Chains A and B, each alone.
Chain A
Amino acid sequence: MNARQRVVEASVVAFVLLHASFAHAADGVAFTSPGFPPSQMNAAGQLVEDWGAVGVKLSGEGVTDAVPAVTAIKLDGVVPAAQAVSRCGTVALTLTAFRAPAYPAGVDVLSVRVEEKQGRAANVTVTLELPAKASAGLRTARLNGRAVLTLPPREESGEKARNWGHCDEASSLPGWAKPAGPCDPAFRNIRAGMGGAPIIYRFAVRPKSKANVVLGFCESHWAEAGQRRLSCRVEGAPPQEVDPIAKWGRHKPGALLFDARDEDGDGRISVVIRGAADAKDKNPILNAIWVFPGGAPPDLKQVIAGKLNSAARRYVDVGGQNDQSLYPGGKLEYRLSLPARGSQELAFFAACQGGVAPIPDASAWTAETLRRAAREVWRDWRER
């Protein structure tokens, strides 16, 4: 083969590859793991799942919008993946998605890599665009109760938190409880930590200050005691355990008082409800929270009746209308500080068809182990 022939052949190969990648870009790129239905990265670089699409936008000084080039690639030479590359002004954005064959249904890993290209340190905000109805917790985003996305730690995201709210992996279940007799309407609703997830709230207070915190419960599932025993911790107060059926009975609203204090001086009082260690049903529930000023404790009968709501600094209808996440909804933001010519990477784990995203406290998966799993499975896989 002479030099001219080689050039022609190389051009043909290049054309075919280019054409192939443009063809992918037009339709998006599908990827999967052996034996499972695929997910897709669409032409806009969004990860498309059975629950919706996840998109990534950048903002910051010198950052511009750009149309990504989406191609099919192989990671580690064997793992099929989709990659969207965009040059967004002073930075480059690379989104890479592959299917990790995590038992039982797999997990899609979306890595977001931002690289500074101008030789000047830069602050860049990565915004994750989720379906409108998705709500983000501390480490996961959920849609209709399903964990659909595992998030990098939010504390490190630089995101501004609200004055109060839940920051857990529990689920809101409005109308779950059936309180008997007159009581505050908050007793009808709960948040529940399915799978044993703790219920966690935080309330902004003056650093080191005291407060009377009242937790309201109404158990409407179990009829007998000894099933759902709850361990309740409120910062600065002795922990209390309670079996709502044993203490108050089924459908009976009850309340516990805690002499709380911002013990660590971070300007927040935390409330954590877990299933007790010896509980048969380890899924905690919580119906209401009242945060009163420190000092003389409130009359619990009056609190349960809803007559002291206006006296409370904070009244939370847990799982109901006035409940909220500690973090603002809508877009999820991560602020990155990039050194000159440097880069940072964030990894998100997305639920793929028929699966859920791994819950960090309950799962050992990491970006590294998921990648290794994909590599090892594809390495030995043969279609039959």
Chain B
Amino acid sequence: MNPSHHHHNCHCCISRRDCLKFLSMSALGAGMVGPALSAVAKERSKYANPDYVDVAKLLPCPEVRMAAAIFEKPRPYWLGWPGTTYDLDARQKEYKAKLADSSRRLGITTNLAPSPINDEAGVGAFIEKIKTEKPHGVLVILQSIFCWPWLTRLSKETGVPLIVFAPVGVAFTGHVLRLSRQPGVHVASTLEWSAAEDGMRMLRAKRMFEETRVLWIRRNERNETVMERLGAKVRAIPRDTFNLSFDKQDVSPEVRDVASDMRRRAKRIVEPNHNDCLNSARAYVTAKRLMADEQANALSMDCLGMVSAKLMPTPPCMSWAMLMDQGITAGCEADLFGAFSLMMTSYLLDRPGFMNDPVPETAKNLLIVAHCTSGTKIRGFNKSAAPYILRNHSESALGVSVQVLWPVGDPVTLVRFSNANEMIIDTGKVVSNVNTPPAGGCRTSVEVAMDNVEDCRDVKGFHQVVTYGNHRRMLEAFCQLYDIKVVRSPEHRPEPEAKIV
């Protein structure tokens, strides 16, 4: 199958060429065309291989349609915020330019109402237009403190996710509070346009979920379902598909280049030999080919079962790290919601995550997060990679896995979809990287001091995804926009109640 094949024939999608153009401008794209592994993509012609799969073409590339409008009151302004001195024309020119720039960079098709809307009739017409056109989201730039009731009406009558940019001078606490905590709404009450752009990123991330097909490689079944709310397709394929495909993958020039690249970039190599790296690169190329063949954009595999059955000479740990550095979700142990959590950081935050097993460190009251794979471009796809050490897979002593050294002292966010309707979000700070030995467990192992969790034993979830930076508010805003319940780990340990005799 041609991996560049456009999956469907809907009339509304932007072309693959336009999509790639957008990706090349976005952080995802920057990551892909950046240094290191992406050199492989650049040198496609070198391989002269019709089966070569360009990772960039595996990324979901959805059309995102957004309606936009400026809400103001009839001019001239006299008293009331933003005030008579507020230069409406200048501000609107500025925000329109910013909106256009954000839309271009994020690959969002924005349909801005040709002139500001300044009365009930105009709002009604705008609502009818949205009902007809059904965009993926609406963005309103607010230019008067008296327009807030229109926003409530807009949200209620259309049901379309609503982003409100309320620059300082058009709201008091009461205005913002009422609307800003409603499901389906994201209010940015600030002069920072980037906060409105964050809302646009949420729309894009949701559309990426909807256009994603994740390969669920486990058991011996072949079927396809769709995950509620997120809209991502889950294609289950037999586990043997992967190892049989791996067996057919020879040591091609691409495989050699990938293997050499992973060794060259490593800060240190402990156990893996050259052959291990070649096998890891074969797993990477196999995964790409399989995704292309199945029209998929992500995968999650029963890797431990495969290692346990000795079906492959290497677990896919390092291969997964390479995919994740390029925006492709590659999840461990066929944990589907772990994979969706990885996808969340990739699609919304433009950086890979680190799915892990949580361990309470009770002497220091820290949470240790550990697994044998982690993205290295943890600061962002278009940022430099964190240093890593090539290790073998600790539980099996096979193949290549990775110890990524997370920056000590920096903030992290822990995110986990419990199911499609609930997300656990916590934050903390990296305290240290744990070495194996003396520790057992997984190769990338990081101590985290949790924020607002008194006792590390109370941290909720398993296979949470740790991602670099504090993104609590962004993730919470995404959840609110799409009506996903947010759960936090308890701040205080639950106290048993005193017995009443």
Contact surface of A with B, Cβ cutoff 8 Å: 33-36, 100-106, 224-226, 243, 246-249, 278, 280, 358, 362-365, 369, 373, 376-377, 379-381, 384
Contacts and interface: CB of A to CB of B under 8 A. Distances in A.
Given A34-B224, A36-B223, A376-B226, A280 B494 contact: yes
Interface in B213-249: 213, 221-229, 231, 233-234, 236
Contacts of B234: 103
Contacts of B11: none
Given A35-B236, A225-B496, A364-B420, A103 B223 contact: no
10 contacts: A33-B223, A102-B225, A102-B226, A103-B420, A225-B499, A364-B229, A364-B420, A376-B8, A377-B233, A381-B224
B150 to A, nearest CB: 26
B490 interface: yes
A225 B497 contact: yes
Contact of A247 (B227, B496, B500): B500
Given A246-B497, A246-B499, A380 B225 contact: no
A104 B225 contact: yes
A373 to B, nearest CB: 4
Contact of A35 (B7, B221, B227, B498): B221
B214 to A, nearest CB: 11
Nearest to A105: B225
B497 A243 contact: yes
Interface residues of B, number: 28
B213 A380 contact: yes
B227 A103 contact: yes
Given A278-B490, A363-B228, 5 more contacts: A33-B223, A34-B223, A102-B225, A247-B500, A364-B421
A381 B226 CA distance: 13
A380 B7 CA distance: 7
A34 B295 CA distance: 15
B483 interface: yes
Nearest to A106: B225
A373 B235 CA distance: 13
A380 B295 contact: yes
Contact of B225 (A101, A249, A384): A101
A363 B244 CA distance: 38
A365 B228 contact: yes
Contact of B8 (A362, A363, A380): A380
Most buried by B among A102, A224, A373, A379: A373
Contacts of B490: 278
Contacts of B7: 380
Contacts of B483: 364
Contacts of A246: 496-500
- Shortest 6 CB-CB distances between A and B: which pairs? A35-B223, A246-B497, A373-B226, A103-B225, A364-B229, A225-B497
Contacts of A365: 228
Contacts of B213: 380
B228 A103 contact: yes
B2 to A, nearest CB: 14
A376 B233 contact: yes
B495 interface: yes
A136 to B, nearest CB: 23
